[in-house]
């Protein structure tokens, strides 16, 4: 896994209080990792802070899985 993926995974584990093994690429924040809508807003904020990027609401709404997050961030930071 890439550095971005590792950092994303760490944030998810911290914020959602889930076991690391459950945070696989295909995992959905809400369906698989027990997040609610407020958790996902906070997750996106944590990603913004960690990677120094701004994720617009329209883009944030499409970030539903671990892979979505990693892909978006990779593109955003170039």
Show which residues are catalytic: 36
CB 23 within 8 A of CB 33: yes
Q: Which residues in 8-37 contact another protein (CB under 8 A)?
A: 15-17
Stretch (H or E) spanning 6: helix 3-16
Q: Is 45 one of the binding residues for another protein (CB under 8 A)?
A: yes
Among 54, 58, 62, 78, binds another protein (CB under 8 A): 54
CA distance 72 to 7: 13
Q: Which parts of this chain interact with another protein (CB under 8 A)? A: 15-17, 38, 41-42, 45, 48-49, 54
């Amino acid at each position: 896994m890439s550095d971005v993926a590792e950092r994303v995974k760490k944030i998810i584990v911290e914020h959602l209080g889930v076991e690391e093994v459950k945070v696989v690429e295909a995992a959905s924040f809400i369906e698989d990792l027990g997040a609610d809508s407020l958790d996902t807003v906070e997750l996106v904020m944590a990603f913004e802070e960690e990677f120094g990027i701004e994720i617009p609401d329209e883009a944030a709404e499409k970030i539903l899985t671990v892979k979505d997050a990693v892909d978006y961030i990779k593109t955003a930071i170039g």
